[in-house]
Chain A
Amino acid sequence: MEITNIYRTEYGRCVATLVRLLGDINLAEEAVQDAFATALEKWETPPPNPGAWIVTTARNRAIDRLRRESTREARHAQALLLHQQDEPQEVGPVQDDQLRLIFTCCHPALAPDARTALTLRLLGGLEVPEIARAYLVPEATIAQRIVRAKKKIRDATIPYRVPAAHELPDRLPPVLTVLYLMFNEGYTATTGSLIRVDLCAEAIRLARELVALMPDEPEALGLLALLLLIEARRPARLSPAGELVLLPDQDRSLWNRARIAEGHDLVRRCLRRNQPGPYQIQAAINAVHTDGAATDWIQILALYDQLLALLPTPIVVLNRAVAVAEVHGPAAALAELAEVELPGYHLLPATRADLLARLGRDTDAAAAYDQAIALAGNETERAFLQSRRAGLDPHPR
């Protein structure tokens, strides 16, 4: 049992360090798996620093294995290890190694789908079937994405290094995107039931690592704050019967106080830095949502105005319209949405439907709900939309 937890927390760190020591992802994974197999045999109780034990054992196992093999990778890895002979014998996971590896996994030269799968596999230590279950795609698809990505890293020589400061504006966003998508997929699963806790927890863990590694990157702080503030409200998001509960109707006593306090603290740290970015502003919006008994919609609308200036996307226009409805009324919000197009996205017709219903235009609202229901892939959300539609006046004036 204990070793399972150690595997979860240490796998990614150990693989990252072994990738540096061996210069090859497959060799690093094999060595770490060997070391965990040895741990299962030898540990009666885990050593005080299990990560260091695993890395040292993995390195020694790799040296033994490489001596027996003569492939190109083996010889290259042997040469790398020879250069490191002056390193102390007991080596532990090094934080910078993880940072190097996450930038490799999220390299823009890799396909976006492959970036997430590879990050979950190498840094999250998730097995292929777990990743496949999380994204509801066949295991073979995930396995192939990972194999192809690892092959490209090796064939094209994608380096293991943290990008230089001048490269970060291009290279940090894909990393943040991968973590945000991972969390979102866990929070509002695109198909099936609503929430997959594992993906959320993993995204928060990795975002936390990223902040520990880059404490001066305000957008990394903003992303962690955003994830914590959304996650804090999860216990109130579903009723005991499993129905979706909207923010104004949520039982706030169910919210996770510790996460909210941590999220608010991070948002204040971002504000002091005064280099606003999209994740920080979204975190600030969620900080307002989790502050006090009633929502300060005027402040939220002001934050959305700021977000729209930085990120003029239809999704932001849609989310901002919800705040416009609260401040200026549903008719004004509906006008904001007149030109918006988001093909296939159920929340656009769902928002229109809600605004139309509030204006008493029940026939139009019903039609919009029908569109939203047809597009919603997630059962919980579909059930919610159906109950909303059923609540409309059956005989509108």
Chain B
Amino acid sequence: MTEKNDFEPTIVGFTCNWCSYRAADLAGIARIKYPPNVRLVRLMCSGRLDPTFVMKAFAEGADAVMITGCHPGECHYLEQNYKALRRYLLLRRTLVAMGIEAERLHLAWASAAEGIQLAREITEMVERVRTLGPLNWHLNGSQPEVVSEAAIELEEVAA
């Protein structure tokens, strides 16, 4: 039997002003319910998404990051969401090389009419990240845990 996992992830979501932010608004207007774990940042376009923002979010304590924008071919600025796609793919590889699981960075397209779909993406992402557990980047690594029994430590490593 699986233990109840009561970890509540904190997820930062980047939205674009014309499509996905409006989809979030639409979800609100339609009173669609979804978990409160995602905090949204409004950008004018998913093309504004700078990988620095994603790194900053992780470094400041986010457990996961969602990038959203208009569907390919429907970008308000014509084709800028493709640049977001390209950056997302390279960013994801780099984050994996740094040990951050690929599932912690998610790209979703949502048009201004797709409030339900966006809410569903958010709900599904929260569950995926809940299973992954906290990242706590901002907490770990600053204070080393000094272990005096080197041999025991090494056995662990050798195992």
Q: Do A and B come from one complex?
A: no
> B-contacting residues of A (Cβ < 8 Å)?
none
> A-contacting residues of B (Cβ < 8 Å)?
none
